[in-house]
Chain A
Amino acid sequence: MSERAAASAHQFDDAEQQHDASTLGMWVFLVTEIMFFAGMFTVYVAYRSLYPDGFAHASHHLDVLLGTINTTVLITSSLTMALAVHAAQLGRRRPLLIFLVLTMALGSTFLVIKGFEYAHKFREGLVPGPWFSYHGADAGAQQLFLSIYFAMTGVHAAHMVIGLGVLGTLVWQARRGRYGKSYYTPVELSGLYWHFVDIVWIFLFPLLYLIGRHT
């Protein structure tokens, strides 16, 4: 693609067509992401309907406080991301950089807290497999729950790491003055991705942490 910010690539007629195509491309990509997570949500639904009690019991192994903090952290990061997009649209470079870095900081905080949660599970012997140390009546269902927990939060965390890489690239490009009022598509589309990863967590949090807590 051309180095000049506003110029369109050779296959497009103009910058508007390029912006439209990129935006549609991102939405299509997010559809594939939804299908990717949908596979795991299907597994979750199937097993939770088979083993409602085992799932509710296993859910108590998770730390609601840390989960809640992480939810707050992530929602806040979506706010800063939205503000970054807004700053990009107005062509204000300094606020753009500040909000991007803030978003990265919040995203990293989420991952660090998640890391502590994982470490705690390892110490308690709650990682599925040969070292699984819980031997209650519904140990099988609980292991299924924790398998799903690690698979879903693990894949989600991988998406966060990719998102941090994307944001890092944006910071680097923004520092070079790549974005302005007339060209901010990458910031906008990365924002879409970031919000998507955020929304996945909004589903994961109640489904994993809050089952059986209403009693």
Chain B
Amino acid sequence: MESTQPRVHYLNADYGIRSWLFTVDHKRIALLYLGSITVMFLLGGVFAGLIRLELLTPAGDLVEADTYNKLFTMHGIVMIFFFLIPSIPAVLGNFLIPMMIGARDLAFPRLNLLSWYIYIIGALFTLWAMLIGGVDTGWTFYTPFSTMASNTNVIPTALGIFITGFSSILTGLNFIVTIHRMRAPGLTWFRLPLFVWAHYATSLIMILGTPVVAITILLVGLERAFHLGIFDPALGGDPLLFQHLFWFYSHPAVYIMILPGMGVISEVIACFSRKAIFGYSFVAISSLAIALLGFLVWAHHMFVTGMSVYAAMIFSFLSFAVAIPSAVKVFNWTATLYEGSVSFQAPMLYALGFIGLFTIGGLTGLFLATLGLDVHVTDTYFVVAHFHYIMVGGAIMSYLGGMHFWWPKITGRMYPEAWAKIAAVIVFLGFNLTFFPQFVLGYLGMPRRYHVYPAEFQVLNVMSTAGASILGIGYLLPLVYFIWSLRYGAVATANPWHATGLEWETPSPPPTENFERTPIVTQDAYAYDTQEVQVV
């Protein structure tokens, strides 16, 4: 099947550091992102590890309170702005969207490279802020603490996030134009893979939400640097206004992190069930519905701030409403599994894990959207557990699933399947051991962001820390065997999973121009029932 002669593809077309740093090939830029976000993920993981180590015992014996504040702040900033938000879009989206729609590249290749440089500059600012002492405001930068009280490096951190925001905006812009204008002949909107739909919805949030947080962070910076008094309560300014502006982006940002993951899951579930996605158009439209409704729920982060009860009721109702398109996806994925020829390769294990964990994360989100219950669990570990079920159990599981699924396409090598299955199980078990006890802790009343706690909470905290160690091993395993597979992995065929989709119709790794000739699409996505091949 695979030829033994050296074939020119995007990885060996050109060599040397300049061929990477000045590349405009979306596939190479995706790999630049892959390298940088992996570094940031490891950094954020170290912060998380230190947090869990500190919480092993009730007393504050590993770090000072101030250091602890900086640790959870930097964990949040690194993981959200520098890992999760770019993760699937900038790596898998960048690599796959042009291939899935039969294009030679994104609409603006140089802009794409610029996005990566902007990301790197933003990351360097933030890292610099950490090296000179860090920041302790929480990733949320709540005023007036961030503008008046905190003595840490708010401005360089804020600048880093402000700059990185433009990377996100430009990536979203590039995706939207590409999906609108670059589709292959015959590839109508309702023939697009759901991965592309998910990224279209994500891009809408990126271009509509990110500018708002950019200006908000800028105003905080101006207030600190030049004493403009926009959120200053001493002048009659309103710190809650900051929270409204901040969450107007930062709640939809949750969907920036999870929607691309849902796109990955749709591809993987269809492939390993050998079936078209049940209710394709509903799943496609539900991505847009999530993007739209996601903009209307932000104040559920503020139920206990003393905002208007009537506003709170409306935001509570809308928060329930956003569960509907999310549930549409979960039900349709499970309906796709029904009577499918399901096989359990590593990507599928991650996808099934995603469905379970995302469901738990989503349902506990409904607890938090309920006004009365939210009062009880606000700012407790219940909230921490809830969003880690979405972000870690959802977004990172799908990211790993996607990386395994498309690794053969990206590198031309197969990863070791047995090790990958072991890693997937370890990640799932470690994850649940880490975060399930936190639901209980929060329900019992342990507040978040404290580095000491009453002794009665220790057992659950020890479980959580033990789980974090297991989870850490689960994350390191793929790092090791992915690198190993680059040299020793079996050579991948063009379509090792016998999957549908244009990206599988070109060799692995693809040539620089993606396709030898522009493909013409004549059928719907996921035409699995026409194929008889069984994945073994």
Contact = CB atoms under 8 A, between A and B. Distances in A.
A140 B207 contact: no
Interface in B195-223: 207-212, 214-216, 218-219, 222-223
Interface stretch (B133-141, B177-185, B420-428): B177-185
A140 B222 CA distance: 17
Main secondary structure of the interface of B (DSSP, over half): helix
Contacts of A144: 229-230, 235-237
Interface in B234-253: 234-238, 241, 244-245
A31 B218 CA distance: 19
A128 B228 contact: yes
A43 B173 contact: no
Given A21-B177, A31-B208, A144-B229, A11 B103 contact: yes
A25 B110 CA distance: 13
A11 B173 contact: no
A29 B227 CA distance: 30
A28 interface: yes
Contacts of B173: 25, 28-29, 32
Contacts of B98: 11
Interface stretch (A44-52, A74-82, A172-180, A184-192): A44-52
Contact of A11 (B106, B210, B228): B106
A136 interface: no
A151 B104 contact: no
A142 to B, nearest CB: 9
B108 interface: yes
Contact of A151 (B108, B178, B230): B230
Interface in B99-126: 103-110
Contact of A32 (B180, B211, B229): B211
B410 interface: no
A54 B235 CA distance: 11
B181 A24 contact: yes
B376 to A, nearest CB: 30
A49 to B, nearest CB: 11
A20 interface: yes
A39 B105 contact: no
Interface residues of A, number: 41
A130 B212 contact: no
Nearest to A1: B110
Nearest to B512: A10
A143 B208 contact: no
A43 B234 contact: no
Contact of B229 (A29, A35, A40, A143): A143
B215 A130 contact: no
Contacts of B207: 28, 31-32, 35
Main secondary structure of the interface of A (DSSP, over half): helix
Given A11-B182, A32-B173, A36-B214, A147 B208 contact: no
B236 A50 contact: yes
Contact of B237 (A28, A47, A130, A151): A47
Given A21-B182, A140-B236, A128 B229 contact: yes
A190 to B, nearest CB: 16
A75 B262 CA distance: 47
Interface in A3-56: 9-13, 17, 20-21, 24-25, 28-29, 31-33, 35-40, 42-43, 46-47, 50-51, 54
B390 interface: no
Contacts of A140: 234-236
B153 to A, nearest CB: 21
Contacts of A39: 211-212, 215-216, 219, 245
A104 interface: no
B180 A24 contact: yes
Given A29-B173, A151-B219, A151-B222, A46 B238 contact: yes
A147 B231 CA distance: 10
B212 A38 contact: yes
Contact of A147 (B103, B169, B177, B229): B229
A150 interface: yes
Contact of A141 (B176, B182, B230, B235): B235
Contact of B177 (A25, A128, A143, A148): A25
B187 to A, nearest CB: 14
A24 B177 contact: yes
A20 B178 CA distance: 11
B310 interface: no
A200 to B, nearest CB: 13
A137 to B, nearest CB: 12
A17 B181 CA distance: 7
Interface string B146-185: 0000000000000000000000010001101110111000
A32 B98 CA distance: 23
Contacts of A150: 226, 228
A36 B215 contact: yes
Interface hub of B219, B234, B513 (most chain A Cβ within 10 A): B219
A109 B464 CA distance: 63
B498 to A, nearest CB: 29
Contacts of A25: 107-108, 173-174, 177
Contacts of B244: 42
B210 A32 contact: yes
Given A24-B180, A144-B237, A148-B230, A32 B169 contact: yes
A168 B215 CA distance: 27
A143 B235 contact: yes
Contacts of B169: 32
Nearest to A150: B228
A54 B105 CA distance: 54
A46 B243 CA distance: 13
Interface in A122-158: 128-130, 140-141, 143-144, 147-148, 150-151, 155
Interface hub of B98, B173, B214 (most chain A Cβ within 10 A): B173
A46 to B, nearest CB: 5
A96 B107 CA distance: 28
A10 B511 CA distance: 14
A206 B216 CA distance: 23
Nearest to A149: B228
Nearest to A28: B173
22 contacts: A21-B177, A24-B176, A25-B174, A25-B177, A28-B207, A29-B173, A36-B215, A38-B211, A38-B212, A39-B212, A39-B216, A39-B245, A43-B241, A47-B236, A128-B226, A140-B235, A140-B236, A144-B229, A144-B235, A147-B229, A148-B230, A150-B228
Given A32-B207, A150-B228, 8 more contacts: A11-B107, A31-B207, A32-B169, A32-B208, A33-B211, A40-B219, A46-B238, A144-B230
Q: Nearest 10 A-B pairs (CB), nearest first?
A: A129-B227, A36-B211, A39-B215, A11-B105, A140-B235, A35-B211, A147-B228, A140-B236, A21-B181, A21-B107
